[in-house]
Amino acid sequence: MVGAAAAIGLAKLGLSVAVVDAFKPQQYDPAQPIDIRVSAISVASESLLEQLGAMPYLAQMRKAPYRGLETWELDGCITQFHADQVSSTHLGHIVENRLIQLALWRCFEHDLDITLCCPAKVSQIEYSQDGVELTLDDNRQIAAKLLVGADGANSQVRQWANIGLTGWDYGQSAMLINIDTEIDQQDVTWQQFTPTGPRSLLPLPGKHASLVWYDDAARISQLASMSNLQLAEQIKQHFPARLDRQFTVANKASFKLTRRHAQRYYADNLVLIGDAAHTINPLAGQGVNLGFKDVAALINVIEQAQDSGEPWWQTATLQQYQRGRYYDNQLMMSTMDLFYASFSNDFTPLKLLRNGALKLANIDGPVKRQVLKYAMGLQ
C-alpha cells in the first residue's frame, strides 16, 4: 500500500518510476469473503489517497466508515470520541489492505511514467556511478537515482544499506478474527483493556466485524489451534458484554507484536518508508497511517527540491524527509508503548489512576478535540 502510494506521488512529480513487487493482489469480487487483513484508514490518509486518485476506485469496492472510537477498562470509566466533536462526517474507514492496494494499482494505468515489474524480486543491489542499480530475479536491470525501500518490516533494502534497528518483542501476540453477525453494520470501533491485553472490535461492511484479541503468545497459539466453533465460545467468555453474542467465526489469523525503528531513514541514494522504517504496536491502528504520512512527506521534500533546482535524490533532501518524519513516528510509537505498559500492569493504585484518567479524558473540551484530530492525522 505504502510503496504503491509513493510510486504514484513521485510519478505525478514527473519522475520515471519502477515498482518491483513479488505478487499481484487478487482482483476484487463483491462475493469474496472479507479479507482478514484490514486497516483503519484515517481522514488524513483518505486525503492522500484522494490526491493520488485512488479513492474513486476504492468507492467502487467496499469499506466501512467509523464515526465513534471508545476505550475503557472498568465499566463507568470510558473515553468516547465521536466525529461530531470535530464537525466531521466520520473518523476514518476500515478497509481491506488488498483493496487499498488494488485501488492504487488502478492509478498506475493513468498517464504516468510507471513501470510495473511483477511478479519479480530483487536479487542484487549495487551502487553505480549515477545512483543505484538493481538486478531482478529475471535478470532485468533497473538504474535509479533513488531507491525507495517500501518492502516491509524485514526490509531487504534496509539490510543492504546496513541501517540498524532499535526495538523489542512485546512478548504478546494478537489474533485477528472476522465474524459474521446478526446485527447491521456498526459505526463505532471499541477497545477494552484487560490484564492480559486488549479486546477490540473494528466494524466491517455489512453484517460483519473484525475482532482483535491480544494475549500472551502461548494463549494466542492455543486459540489459533481451536475450531471456529470452539473459538467463538472463548470469545463469548472473554469479550465484553457489548459484543452481540449472535455471531459465527468466519476467519482467523495471528501475529507476534514487535516494535522496530530504523536508526535512520536514508543512505546515499536510498530512503525508507512505512514498515521498512518503523513497525508500531497496533494498539491504535496507526501503522499504515504513519506510512502514508511518510509518503506525503517524501513527495513534499522532493517537490521542494525540484522547485529549487536542487538534486532531489541527494542526501540533503533525504535528511529533510527524516527531520519531518522521524520524531513524529517516535512520538506515536512511544505513546502506544506508554498505553501498552500502563494497561498491562494490574497494580491497584495504577489501575485506579489510569481509569480515572480515562474518565477525565471523556470530558468534552479543546484537549479532547486536539487528541481526536491527532488520531485522525489532522495534527
Q: Which pLDDT value is given to residue 368?
A: 52
Q: Which pLDDT value is given to residue 348?
A: 52
65-79, 83-97, 254-268, 358-372: which has the highest mean pLDDT? Answer: 254-268
* Residue 358 pLDDT grade (very low, low, confident, very high; cuts 50, 70, 90): low
Digit-coded pLDDT (tens) for 12-29? 999 999 999 999 999 999
Q: What is the DSSP letter of 84?
A: G
Q: Which pLDDT value is given to residue 208?
A: 97
* Residue 117 pLDDT grade (very low, low, confident, very high; cuts 50, 70, 90): very high
- Enumerate the H helices of the chain as residue ranges: 2-11, 43-52, 55-59, 97-107, 156-160, 217-224, 228-238, 287-307, 315-343, 348-361, 366-375
Q: Which pLDDT value is given to residue 170?
A: 85
Digit-coded pLDDT (tens) for 26-60? 999 999 999 999 999 999 999 999 999 999 999 99
pLDDT, mean of residues 297-314 = 97
Q: Which pLDDT value is given to residue 13?
A: 98
Radius of gyration of the chain (CA): 21
Percent of the chain past pLDDT 70, that is, above it, reads: 88
Q: Which pLDDT value is given to residue 12?
A: 98
Task: State the distance between the two ends of the chain, measured CA to CA, in whole angstroms.
Answer: 22
209 beta partners = 179, 203
- Single-letter amino acid, residue 96: E
pLDDT over 70 at 350, yes or no:
no
Higher pLDDT, 152 or 347: 152
